Structure 1
């Protein structure tokens, strides 16, 4: 029986995903599980480009951003050093702050949703979460949290 899981937390910025990832990690480790936490965009070179675009240090078209997320996500899954699939193979429960559903939500206002789904289909075929958790908060609470806790705002 499989003991380790792949869990994805989704929600708008400021919803508390990062906080819940940390709390869930602590709880699962307390139960004796090996846990690996991660996020998207990643800290890989591709993820750093995305973060530079989001922060305004670089410019890019929404189509380019969508393509970068596809590439970042595939590397996130397949990276031989710390990819999600490798961590699962090593027996870790993996918890991620965002996965492909975030692309559906954030990129579909700028791109055809069918394209976004198709572009992310390889990631979905490689690995679907055992559990998706959506943290639902109002936009007003999100904006207040972001204003209180961050010095800058991002593209989305």
Structure 2
């Protein structure tokens, strides 16, 4: 669940739940404590990932199996080229979405089978799972009302699709409470950040060493 000396944290939840905001707040907190932080996302955490992101979210029609394979391709490259090297040098890696999004959206939302999609991503990443997955739980209608840009292919799916993905996230969290932290995304951002920071501080105090005297930053924002 960790690789090398680093700590791997993922943020999950529906559209508009505040994942990017909370990832950035946690990054600021950790950098202030002198740790190296890699802030990234899926899809799109690498140059290749940006191409795959455009294809899967904004391209022409992509069938469900192709969609799942594109996400797995992005994840394999993301982990091999960015996530694992950062963990091995002792960084804290924070990612906006990871494997659990594929299980929820493609496995359950697209009816491809949660187990099959999970195994695909586990194979692609050589079994790498986060030490902590933060689920920002929010009613899909509320989340989509928060969006300020034109919806992508997944955001444009119907109400039933988004209800099923929300339940898929909650079911996964219930089945593995040691890895997951489930928070009500309607709470104030500062309250959420405090709860997340407390859990991360506990993980770091449990034995994950720091990143050295100077806190470096590798951040993907495009």
Which TM-score tier does this pair reach, normalised by the shorter chain? 0.7 to 0.9
Runs of 4+ in 1 over 6 A off after TM superposition: none
- In the other structure, the counterpart of 1:6 is 8
- Gap regions ≥5 residues in structure 1: none
- In the other structure, the counterpart of 1:16 is 18
CA deviations 1:92-146 (Å, max 9, x no partner) are 1100001100000000222122221221122464421111100011112201111
* TM-score, length of structure 2 as denominator length: 0.62
1:49 deviation in Å?
Answer: 2.8
Q: Report 1 or 2 for greater relative contact order, CA contacts < 8 Å, sequence distance ≥ 6.
A: 1
- Show the 5 A alignment for 1:26-37: 26-37=28-39
- Gap regions ≥5 residues in structure 2: 155-222
- In the other structure, the counterpart of 1:105 is 104
SS state at 1:21 partner: helix
Partner Cα separation in structure 2 for residue 3 and residue 45 of structure 1: 26
CA deviations 1:49-75 (Å, max 9, x no partner) are 3323322x3321111010011111010
* TM-score, length of structure 1 as denominator length: 0.87
SS state at 2:102 partner: helix
Cα RMSD of the aligned pairs, angstroms, is 1.7
SS state at 1:76 partner: helix
Q: Which has the larger radius of gyration?
A: 2
Aligned residues: 148
